[in-house]
Structure 1
Amino acid sequence: MLKRIATAAAALTLTLTFAGSAGAINTYNAAPAPERTEVGALVATWDDDADPATPDRVDWVCSGTMVDRDTFLTAAHCTTDWPPNVKFFVSLAQDVQGALDAAAAAHPSDPAAIAAAVGVQGVAHSDPAFSARQSDPHDISVIQLPAAAVAARWSFTPATLPTAGQLDALGPQGLSTTAFTVVGYGTQEATRGPGGQTHPGGGVRMKAPEGFNALTNAWLRLDMHAQHGNGGACYGDSGGPNFATLNGRQVLVATTITGDTPCYATNVVYRTDTASARGFLGQFVTLP
């Protein structure tokens, strides 16, 4: 059974239970990714009590990537179905959970100040065609940010997007010999304990290798079996990048969307080289 690898869609059960600066992605075949300075975490503040005037919740909820100086690419299911007063921030910190913990200590009971301490506030634009249609869900969104505020806090080189139909041009044979890397802040694979199945960790930018499995008109399916030398994505990695090494460059060919429930087998990622994805992204960035 597939499920969305997001925290935003189930914020109360997944995003608010993280503790400490544990690892992310899967524990096997994974490593920290401090060099991926263009990859960040989506932080949200929102209200869930009777007083909507001020936010009372704050947490990181998804992953994503800077694709130019003021545009953060993530998934539409990360930025939809929130209370009306939700506000989004982007943090490019290597350890966003640690940053949130430090900000919470400095600004107790002040979610707005905590979010501002760790990230830059932006405006979300979700693909209006976003739906659950598997043939092409349009599960893509961007956060538009003030470029000056981003530049004042972080140094990074924006990710390289693919050309139109670049994965189709490679074909199954070319893709099977292509190196793929997933990056994100998500939790670890399922573990079982006294309380049942849990997904520990999360909040630290990690990376893991993946292998090609299948290509469809909208999706790229990537293998993340440990026995194949791969790692993979889990909860909280939604919206984060999947890079393919093409002609010596890492190209952001897809974003993490879904996978198997325990996070052991397959990462199902939304292609960024399709006419659908490019039609949306072209409103915000210059495409190759």
Structure 2
Amino acid sequence: MRSMKFWSLPLAAMALSACGTGDTTSETKIINGTLAPDGGAIEQSTVALASSNGQVFCTGTLIDKRFVVSAGHCLANYRGTLYIGFGRSSTEFKYVKAADYAVNPAYTGSFNKSVPSDISVIELSAAAPAGYNPVAIYKGSITRGSNLALAGFGQTQSGGSGRLYYTSVSVSGTTSNEITVYENGTGSCYGDSGGPAYVSSGGRLLVIGATSRGETGCRGSSIYTNVAYHLNWLRSWTGVNL
């Protein structure tokens, strides 16, 4: 297996740094992706995590009308008021304030080795706006070569939020708690942290992963937290039979 160098900072940290200091990064949305269809299933369930000044720093997935799943590293050190943006870009967002959120207690914060619990959950202060619908969590098995759809909001070089893009990739490896995809020139990057990996099953999109980390350059391998692996924790915290 070839040696891979992964991002040394969490995907969200780079975006937060750009927002907080005025520094900029290169164009870092979903690489070589496609704008999500207006009103489609991807837009209905993929949401943006934003600060009180409207800066998008991570992505999440609506898994219930009142709950969003994202990455642990997105919120582990977050101290501001959190808003969830619904829509394809910050210019059209409908915002719902977060009532509460939690990072999985097993999350270590280390990106030097495996991060098996890089997952968080957010409770909304009100139900998702009309026209936005949750997706179910995929609880089945996934095999090498399976196709997944990735979606997310990336930061632009101006420091503003990007738009919702998606792309298709193949699974290159799995463990009980993580999924590795090979992007081959397309895929997630900084600002897409916590965003969904969707699988199509029975004619529906289901969420299987949440973006954790990726290979330097954003054009190689990325690792996704297997959401179903943390199903008991999610059910316990939300009180919902997800």
TM > 0.5: yes
Normalised-by-shorter TM-score class: 0.7 to 0.9
- From 13, 17, 20, the equivalent of 1:12 is 17
Amino acid at match of 1:250: L
Alignment pair present for 1:236 and 2:196: no
Matches within 5 A, 1:1-288: 1-3=5-7, 6-8=11-13, 11-13=16-18, 24-26=29-31, 28=32, 30-33=33-36, 34=38, 35=40, 36=42, 37-45=44-52, 58-83=54-79, 86-96=80-90, 98-99=91-92, 118-122=94-98, 123-132=100-109, 134-148=113-127, 150-151=128-129, 154-163=130-139, 166-167=140-141, 170=142, 172=143, 175-176=144-145, 178-187=146-155, 202-226=161-185, 231-274=186-229, 277-283=230-236, 284=238, 286-287=240-241
Q: What are structure 2's unaligned runs of at least 5 residues?
A: none
Going from structure 1 to structure 2, the CA distance change for 1:200 and 1:121 (only over 3 Å counts) comes to closer
User: What do the CA deviations read for 1:139-189 (whole angstroms, capped 9, x no partner)?
Assistant: 1111101334x33xx4222112022xx22xx4x3xx42x32100000248x
Q: What secondary structure sits across from 1:212 in the alignment?
A: strand
Structure richer in helix, relative to its length: 1
Among the aligned pairs, what percent are the same residue?
21
Tell me the C-alpha RMSD between the 2 structures: 2.8
Q: What secondary structure sits across from 2:200 in the alignment?
A: strand
Distance 1:60 1:17 in 2: 15
Offset of 1:14 from its aligned partner? 5.9
Distance 2:68 2:135 in 1: 10
Amino acid at match of 1:2: F
- Which of the two has higher C-alpha Rg? 1
Q: What secondary structure sits across from 1:2 in the alignment?
A: coil
Going from structure 1 to structure 2, the CA distance change for 1:219 and 1:80 (only over 3 Å counts) comes to same
Distance 2:195 2:116 in 1: 17
Amino acid at match of 2:234: L
Going from structure 1 to structure 2, the CA distance change for 1:209 and 1:89 (only over 3 Å counts) comes to same
Q: What are structure 1's unaligned runs of at least 5 residues?
A: 46-56, 101-117, 189-197
Distance 1:24 1:10 in 2: 11
Q: What secondary structure sits across from 2:162 in the alignment?
A: coil
Q: What secondary structure sits across from 1:61 in the alignment?
A: strand
TM-score (norm 1): 0.70
Q: What secondary structure sits across from 1:131 in the alignment?
A: coil
Distance 1:81 1:223 in 2: 29
Going from structure 1 to structure 2, the CA distance change for 1:17 and 1:65 (only over 3 Å counts) comes to farther
Q: Is the 8 A contact 1:5 1:256 kept in 2?
A: no
TM-score (norm 2): 0.82
Distance 1:286 1:10 in 2: 31
Amino acid at match of 1:206: Y
Distance 1:211 1:199 in 2: 31
Q: Is the 8 A contact 1:182 1:207 kept in 2?
A: yes
